[in-house]
Structure 1
Amino acid sequence: MKKEKKYAKMADGSQIYYEKSGHGLPLFLLHGNDGSGRFFSKQVAIFQRYYTVYQIDSRGHGRSTNAANVLSFHLMAKDLNTIMRLEKIEQADFLGFSDGANLALVFIDSFPKKVHHLILNSGNTLVTGVRFSARVATNCHYTLIWLLAWIYPKLRQKLLVIQLLLHDIGLSKNDLKRIKAPTLIIVGEKDVIKISHSRYIAQTIPHATFVLVSKQGHQLARKDPKRFNREVLQFLAIN
């Protein structure tokens, strides 16, 4: 199926890359930290049979640029809103993985009427929702890149990306309670996100369904795409 490759220019001059394929209602795919839309290579082929799929490279990630000297989920949410306006989309389904799930949460908080369905794979509203070992690894990675950035200044852009992992996303329990869109939270039992935190999100969002996949971790969508794709499509079909 033909895939369109596009760039959307933001107000500050940043260029956001995305790919569009398929037909039907719009479905936005949002990747994780330091990733790109290519993460969903095992989802697009089947999703595009039923939906118009938008694979986004978030600002400062993949083939997208960042002309700002900052990076935040709120800034990336505004980018998504601009793409929707350019594509003349009033409402869409959003599937986010890891930081992409966090971006989807910030987007629905900022633009609640523009989200039809919300699918969150391994998202976290709090840094403490991540297992301690993963938090230590992230801090070590940030420190290493920070040191190298003194020698290679281009790495400062990478620091902006990594720092997204070091802070809470800014949504309270009351913010989650205001989400009206039908929501699927799907995680692997061995995920770096604590199961208790994923359950907290599922129990707090009013119309949420929780799916825990045994023997899988953070890369569920790539390690077990058959199960992941089935759960997503079934959720979208019945809600």
Structure 2
Amino acid sequence: MEKVGSADGTSIAYQRSGAGAPLVLVHGTGGTYSRWAPIVPALEKHFTVYAVDRRGRGESGDATAYTIEREFEDVAALVKAIGEPANLFGHSFGGICSLEAALYAQHVSRLVLYEPPIPVASVQIYPEGIIDRLQALLDAGDREGLLTTFMSEVVRMLPHEIELSKSMPAWPARVAAAHTLPRELRAHEGYCFDPERFKSLSIPTLLLVGGESPHFFKEAIDTLRQTLPDSRVVILPGQQHIAMETAPDLLVREVLAFLLGPAM
């Protein structure tokens, strides 16, 4: 893997493949760059794909203190290092990182956000005490239990979806990175989304949401639709939060139609 230095000096690793305009892939909580494996072969036919390992996992470095802002800077550092306008595709927590990085980097051509959990007033994402319970599982050394509990109780994934994720080649790397999960959730709880900061963000943006996803993802997408001036929503019928695994062809089709299509 190749690496780039972030603003705080942390080394951020990424896997580069394909040829064409740059496309940076930013995975979500409990993931690694390998989470994109089911769709990278289709994407790299059209783009130079940069699949990032976010800080604290894989070959990426980490820092003693963790803040959500460092994650934004990590993505922005890679975009800047590419040296030409790049497309950004962020999933879940990686969607928030990508959105914020678009403000930091100012070299983003188009933006794809798949269910970023933007905080919405009066909408509860986390069940009472869940982060403490996840931390307890980590402290007990039960990384797989931590990950599956997060998937079932926070993301509200169905049992068959969890089993599908566990069967994927990326699963061992996800379990190995599970220690990053509680800190991200705590940082996300403290994250304040200010729509005014993004009102002038004129980057063409595709907002993806599963037709069967939990309501808080749908509320987040609606908030972004009302906030971002050049955005549109595409519903992935029959899907929830992991279409890269449950419907990779559908996901690729919508992403390519947006990234390769005319300006909105």
Which TM-score tier does this pair reach, normalised by the shorter chain? 0.7 to 0.9
* Equivalent residue number for residue 119 of structure 2: 126
Seen in structure 2, the aligned counterparts of structure 1 residues 229 and 129 have a Cα distance that, compared at 3 Å, is: farther
Which structure 1 residue ranges, 4+ long, deviate > 3 Å from structure 2? 9-13, 84-87, 127-130, 145-152, 155-159
Map residues 132-147 of structure 1 onto 2, 5 A cutoff. 132=124, 134-136=125-127, 139-140=129-130, 142-147=131-136
Deviations 1:43-74 (A, max 9, x none): 110111111000001112343221231131x2
CA change 1:47–1:165 in 2 (3 A) is same
The 1:90/1:229 distance shift into structure 2, 3 A limit, reads same
1:80 equivalent to 2:75? Answer: yes
User: Secondary structure of 2:29's partner?
Assistant: coil
Q: For residue 158 of structure 1, report the CA deviation from its aligned partner.
A: 4.7
CA–CA distance in structure 1, aligned partners of residues 5 and 223 of structure 2? 37
If the length of structure 2 is used for normalisation, what is the TM-score? 0.76
Gaps of 5+ in 1: none
CA displacement at 1:231 relative to structure 2 = 0.5
Q: What CA distance in whole angstroms lies between the structure 2 residues aligned with 1:171 and 1:163?
A: 15
Letter in 2 for 1:226: D
In structure 2, list runs of 5 or more residues that go unmatched. 142-177
Indicate the SS of the match to 1:106.
helix
TM-score normalized with structure 1 length = 0.83
Decide whether aligned partners of structure 1 residues 62 and 162 sit closer, same or farther in structure 2, where only a CA change above 3 A counts: farther
The percentage of aligned residue pairs carrying the same residue is: 25
Residue 172 of structure 1 pairs with residue 194 of structure 2: yes
- Equivalent position to 1:116, from 101, 109, 112: 109
Distance in 1 of aligned mates of 2:136 and 2:234: 40
Change (3 A) 1:22 1:161: same
Equivalence for 1:107: 101
CA contact (8 A) 1:187 1:220 kept: no
Alignment RMSD, CA only? 2.6
Q: How has the CA–CA distance of structure 1 residues 129 and 217 changed in structure 2, closer, same or farther, with 3 Å as cutoff?
A: farther
Say whether the 8 Å CA contact 2:115–2:217 is kept in structure 1. no
Paired position in structure 1 for 2:152: none
Number of positions where the alignment pairs a residue of Structure 1 with one of Structure 2: 226
SS, match of residue 22 in structure 2: strand
SS of 1:39's partner is helix
